[in-house]
Amino acid sequence: MTSNVSLSNKKVGLALGCGAVAGAAWSVPILAELQRQLAWDARSADVLIGTSVGAVLAALLSAGVSIDVMEGSLGSKSQSSGCDWNHDTSWGTWHPPLPKLQFSGLPLLRKGLRGEVPPLTAICGVLPQGQFDMTPFRQLINTHVPEGQWSPHDNCWIMAVDNDSGERVGFGRPDAPDASLVDAVCASYGVPAWCPPVAIGGRTYLDGGITSPVSADLLADSDLDVVVVVAPMSSRTIESNPSLFARIERVARRYMTRIVDREVELLQRAGKQVIRLEPSTEVLQAIGYNMMDPGRRHRVFQSATKVAPVTVQKALHEAGIVIDNNDTQI
């Protein structure tokens, strides 16, 4: 069923998923195009959920940084003009620094063997602790939200995983431990074997993406009308690739896609209108097999910008939304 709608009186949630450097380079131009087609400002979302690099974007949006500013930054060659970020250095390199000889979260493996946490969560627990320097991420967030404080947005949820219990924690939710925004974002971006776990309130946390790429299911019981799911690690059109590393990436992507499928279905059963955005085949070719590779950032950004109009139109069509150019806004 399609409808020609004005969404100005709708409550909207925005779930921004994991995907590292490539995920940011894809997500921002896609969101920019969604804004243009719906005459909408992503900062106005009633709920913002961010996972891993999506947590960085959600935090910036919640602090008032516009998608236009982020788009200008990601489209630049090196030093961004609107964000405290240097694309030549802040992302690191295509490979992680030498990790510690210490597990990220060994209890996660034991829970995985008992079927208490998902397989990916368990596997990540036995990966070594990363030692990537998160200082650029901290400086970026602290530029917009004073250190030690939380987001000014009423409902900004930053997803991480407790590396002892394996439970998802949405920092910013009423049931979550108190945290500063910068600590929550760094915890959410705590990619196992790459970035260090982050201690908050006496417990340590890892990348929220090891349990769910977007955590959109948390919105099923909300009073939202529309949920925008931006999932860089999900794709329903995945081509085979003979490369060993590409095959590994495709296995992970299919695993993530199944999770997003379930979460979208849950939202739809709850009566939400879901706008599901994910990379096309063309963008996947630009991404390659290493989402962490900053050398592909500009290539991914250009590819995403090129296909964004079609990607967004397709997502809106699937959501049953017909654009009225004279009166369509969120």
Catalytic residues: 52, 207
Matching residue, tokens 């208490």:
116
Tokens standing for residue 112: 């995985």
Q: What is the DSSP string of 133-181?
A: --HHHHHHHHHHS-TTPPPSSTTEEEEEEETTT--EEEETBTTSPP--H
- The closest alpha carbon to 309, from 34, 22, 3, belongs to 34
The rounded radius of gyration (Å) of the Cα atoms in the chain is 18
Q: How far apart are CA 100 and CA 133, in angstroms?
A: 13
Enter the tokens of residue 279. Answer: 């990379």
Q: How distant, in Å, are the alpha carbons of 110, 198, 245, 313 from that of 184? A: 25, 8, 31, 33
Q: What are phi and psi of 135, to 5 degrees?
A: -55, -45
CA-nearest of 38, 24, 67, 14 to 229 is: 14
Number of C-alpha atoms within 13 angstroms, CB side, residue 316?
A: 23
Closest C-alpha to 186, from 230, 229, 226, 130: 130
